[in-house]
Amino acid sequence: MIVGKVKTAVIIGAGVSGLATAKCLTQVGIHCTVFDRNPYLGGVWADGYHDFGVQVQKDLYEFPDFPLSEEASHFTPGPVFREYLEDYCDHFGIRECLRLGTRVTMIERKGDGWLLEVGGSESSETIEADLVVVAAGLYSETPNAPNIPKREDFGGEVLHASEIKDISQLKDRRVAVIGYGKSATDIAGSAVGVAEKVHLVFRTAHWPVPRKLLGVLPFKWGMLTRLVAALIPPYVRPSPIVRAIHSIGYPLPWLFWRVVELLLSTQQRLRTQIEHGETLMPETPVEFDAFTEVTMVPRPGLIDFIRSGKISAHRTGVSAFSSNGIDLADGDSLEVDCVVFGTGWKTGYPYLPKSILASLDDGPDGFYLYRHVLHPSVPNLAFVGRASSFMSVTTFALQAKWLAEVVADRVLLPDAEAMQSDIDALKSWKQSWMPEGPARSATLLIHMCHYHDELLLDMSADPLRKRGFLAPISELIVPYRAADFRDVV
């Protein structure tokens, strides 16, 4: 919720969401300062692991009003995307807002606005702002490394995936990669042919989505259309037709997802036998598994590496380190001299006082927000980028635009009670079916189109973005691209 006239804003984070927010707020006359603890912009795209890159096609992952160049490859490599963010910054004239290499260490309430303590490596200062926008993403704070016993006994090296800047770090080593998400499988795949031996250890298998379904159709056509969005567990405010599809019509979505599972398991040969007779078949139905934090579009070749034994896959947990490797929960011991955690990042906002986190009702799911941006109990604090989507850049650009419209009084918010009731509905809806996780409050994924619809309606923009004579069919079966939102942001 926004109180009083906003003239100045501090944005924490100079990644995709921070830059989009700076652009939109500047356009409505707000003086913005963007702080980032790193000495370069880009957030997660500034400095990733070896060969990191975008896992979805480029027309899904670009700013709607600033397309990637024609020459950019379909799956944008990380360094190219970082350059693109630099260009975005220059194109919209927001570079002068940036204060890189400066960390926000504390914020506290002052009147309707905020007092912030910010500092670089040598000095610190206090500044005031009417509005604080946290645009630090979901997973930017600390690497998540499971607490495994007897770490001190292990004579080898333990790394987080983010520390693998060059795959030659693993040259001629016996490596165990822990995890089954994007970074884990990327590192394991890259290590093949470089490392002496590669193990991939994971407890839970997830449905990997191939870049092309049946080797022909880009996955977005099979996963990211309104037709498919009508077949996933219904949104918090479903239309009557979707409600009917999931009650009396339930055999239809059930059949659809079983066919999807059959296609995915056949195409990717998920029944491949791995250690101890296990397979790569997930246990959770695909329509629910798609909402876990591990939504993976693996690079081509991963399953082939596993089938051929170039990656030795173990579907089990790690029970302890030993002097020369790790002991697995299934009784096996792996002799390795390097363990890489591809287990993601922890979520955290160390600069937010406990009193604010308590007001946000921070819990095991994280905290729930009105339109994933504002909370009625903490006025003039906004979050942009706290939503997981397959089109994150578009989602964050829409959030930033929505926030700017709210600040400019062109989008009117409901009263605090109505906002809280909306938040409560969102929370109980997610908790009723979505897999648990520390970021469940922020998970949208295939539901992103419904969330975009809400933001667009708030801004009096038409949620039906397709144009032309056949637009109604396109709305149903053609996936949205970032470009479809160009005239909104």
Partner 1 sequence: MGDFIWIGTAIGTAIGLLNMLFILSSRLGQTGLNQAKTVWQGLWVWALWTVFGAYVLALWLLGVVLLSFSRFLRRGTEV
Interface with partner 1 (CB under 8 A): 239-241, 244, 249-252, 254-255, 258, 457, 459-462, 464, 471-473, 475-476
Query: Looking at this protein, which amino acid is placed at residue 242?
Result: V
User: 215 or 240: whose CB is closer to partner 1?
Assistant: 240
CA distances from 350 to 103, 106, 388 (A): 11, 8, 21
In the bound state with partner 1, the residue whose beta carbon lies nearer, of 91 and 258, is 258
Looking at the Cβ atoms of 237 and 269, the one nearer to partner 1 is: 237
Burial of 223 (0-12, 13-18, 19+ CB in 10 A): buried
Q: How far is the CB of 102 from partner 1 (least distance, A)?
A: 39
- Distance between the two ends of the chain, CA-based, in angstroms? 21
Of 336 and 449, nearer to partner 1 (C-beta) is: 449
- Is the Cβ of residue 40 or residue 256 nearer to partner 1 in the bound state? 256
- Least distance in Å: CB of 457 to partner 1? 7
Is 339 in contact with 157 (CB distance < 8 Å)? yes
Cα 387 from Cα 137, distance rounded (Å): 8
**Shortest Å distance, C-beta 98 to partner 1:** 34
Nearer to partner 1, 130 or 261 (CB): 261
Shortest Å distance, C-beta 92 to partner 1 = 24
Minimum gap (Å) between residue 463 Cβ and partner 1: 8
Q: Which is nearer to partner 1, 198 or 286 (CB)?
A: 286
Measured between alpha carbons, how far is 474 from 480 in angstroms, rounded to an integer? 9
Nearest approach in angstroms of CB 237 to partner 1 is 11
Minimum CB separation from partner 1 for residue 130, in Å? 28
Per-residue H/E/C for 32-92: EEEEECCCCCCHHHCCCCCCCECCCCCCCCCECCECCCCCCCCCCEHHHHHHHHHHHHHHC
- Residue (69 or 239) nearer to partner 1, CB: 239
To partner 1, the closest distance from the beta carbon of 460 in angstroms equals 3
C-beta closer to partner 1: residue 192 or 461: 461
How many Å apart are CA 250 and CA 227, to the nearest integer?
15
Cβ proximity to partner 1, 114 vs 257, nearer residue: 257
- Cβ of residue 84: shortest distance to partner 1, in angstroms? 31
Q: CB 244 → partner 1: shortest distance, Å?
A: 8
Give the dihedral of Cα atoms 270, 275, 278, 281; nearest 10 deg: -20
Residue with tokens 């003086």: 31
